[in-house]
Amino acid sequence: MQLVRSQGVTEELKCLGLLNVLDKDQDIPDQLAQVFGEPCIKLAEGIKAYISKVTEDIISKQTFIEARTMARPVNNSGSKFMTSVAQRPSAHLTLRDTSSQGFSLYSIPTPDLHQSCRHVVRSWANQSFGAHLHNMTLSNGKLRVPQDGRYYLYSQVYFRYPSPAAGDGDQRSVSHQLVQCVYKKTSYPSPIQLLKGVGTKCWAPDAEYALHSIYQGGLFELRAGDELFVSVSSPTMVNADDSSSYFGAFRLDL
């Protein structure tokens, strides 16, 4: 019995050896056909046909997967949004105190501005914590718009009644009109007033000092090249504080 099994295995191995000939697409020599016989040849051809079918199925599935992957659109809307945000012009400036450097925060009154706020604030800076200047430029207190679009503008000025000098007497009880304006300078000869905030304050005679702030903001259609700036009515009362006096703008995609 063991001998018969051994002979059967040997015959099967010889039969499978025909696959080498069939893989080379060669005709089976007559002497091999006589040696192995017709059953062995049919077995070898059947195995080859099965292998070819399995290989074709695998190639077909792989081709379909690659074609579907290439046809699928790549969703890069997120990256485009982040790029748009990164390139969006914006600025947040704080007021720099230059009194210790021997010159004023403000120039002489500008005649082509409204009489209530003719002193342009020129000492804005972006060096303090939280301040920045991104895709915009600042020159002599004026913020330049780089792109057409809708911008939100905002400004706050912190007014402080100074400690009176000796001999001022009743001057401490005099009321003061506090005005802050935001302008844009275009190709027109005169600047255009965009925002105006007003507060009339009367501080108590015995107060060492008093504080008041004016904030305003708004959305405006601006053009590339427009220049934005802030002016005030009472330059000697403006307190240069990073968190209280500031000016900024940023473009909105609307």
Residue 110's pLDDT band (boundaries 50, 70, 90)? confident
Across 114-123, b (16+ Cβ under 10 Å) vs e yields eeebbbbbbb
DSSP 8-state assignment for residue 244: T
Domain borders along the chain are 2-71, 88-252
Report helix, strand or coil for 27.
coil
Give the model confidence (pLDDT) of 11-66 as tens digits. 666 666 655 655 555 566 666 566 556 667 676 677 777 777 777 777 777 777 77
Residue with tokens 């000492």: 123
Across 31-46, b (16+ Cβ under 10 Å) vs e yields ebeeebeeebbebbee
Q: How many of the other CB atoms lie within 10 Å of CB of 89?
A: 21
pLDDT score of 82 more than 60:
no
Structure-token pair, residue 192: 């255009």
Position 85 scores a pLDDT of 65
- Prediction pTM value: 0.62
Q: What is the dihedral of CA 240, 244, 247, 248, to 10 degrees?
A: 140
**CATH class of the region 88-252:** mainly beta
Q: How many of the other CB atoms lie within 10 Å of CB of 196?
A: 16
179 phi/psi in degrees, rounded to 5: -130, 135
Label the pairing between strands 132-134 and 149-160: unpaired
Q: How many of the other CB atoms lie within 10 Å of CB of 19?
A: 15
Residue 133's pLDDT band (boundaries 50, 70, 90)? very high
Report helix, strand or coil for 23.
helix
Q: How many of the other CB atoms lie within 10 Å of CB of 204?
A: 9
Round to whole Å and give the CA distance between 221 and 17: 84
Give the length of the chain. Answer: 254
User: Does the annotation list 181 as a binding residue?
Assistant: no
Report helix, strand or coil for 197.
strand
Residue 162's pLDDT band (boundaries 50, 70, 90)? low
Sorted by sequence, the CB contacts under 8 Å of residue 234 that are 6+ apart come out as 159, 176, 177, 178, 179
Position 74 scores a pLDDT of 54
Give the model confidence (pLDDT) of 140-153 as tens digits. 999 999 999 999 99
Whether 159 and 214 have beta carbons less than 8 Å apart is answered as: yes
Report helix, strand or coil for 147.
coil
